[in-house]
Amino acid sequence: MVRFTLLFFLMIILFLSGVIVGFDQAGEGIQTIRGNPFENFDALNIQQSDGESAEVQVMGETFEEMQLKYRDTESEHITEKMATLIEKGVKWLYNQVIQVIYKMTEMIYQI
C-alpha cells in the first residue's frame, strides 16, 4: 500500500511538472507567433517628445492602426448579411415544420 501511494504521488508530481513546462513553452510560442521575439515586452508603450503629443503603441502597433483594424473587423460584409438572411429563413422553415407536426399530433390525440 505504501509503495502504491509513493508511486501515485510520484506520477502526480511528474504530471504537474510537465503541465508547468508545457504552459511555459506555449507562452513562448504564442509570443513568437504574435511577432514578438523579446521576452521582456511591454504591451503598452508610451513615447512623448518635447511639446508634442504622446504616441501610444499597443502590442507594437500605434493606436490609429489598431482603430483601423477594429473598424475593418466590425464592418459587416456581404457574407455576414447572406448568412443572417439564410439563418432567418431556416428558422422560419423549422418553426413551420414544427407547427405542422404539432397540429398533426393534436388531431391524432383528439380522435
DSSP assigned state of 36: -
Per DSSP, the three-state class of 59 is coil
What is the grid cell recorded at 106?
Answer: 393534436
Find the farthest-apart pair of alpha carbons in the chain and give their distance in angstroms, rounded.
89
Per-residue pLDDT at 111: 75
Among the listed residues 81, 53, 56, the one whose alpha carbon sits nearest the alpha carbon of residue 67: 56
Per-residue pLDDT of the chain (111 residues; tens, 9 = 90+): 889 999 999 999 999 999 999 888 887 777 677 666 555 556 666 666 666 676 767 666 777 777 777 777 766 678 888 899 999 999 999 999 999 999 999 988 887
Per-residue pLDDT at 3: 92
Q: How many helices (H) and strands (E) does the chain have?
A: 3, 3
What is the grid cell recorded at 6?
Answer: 509513493
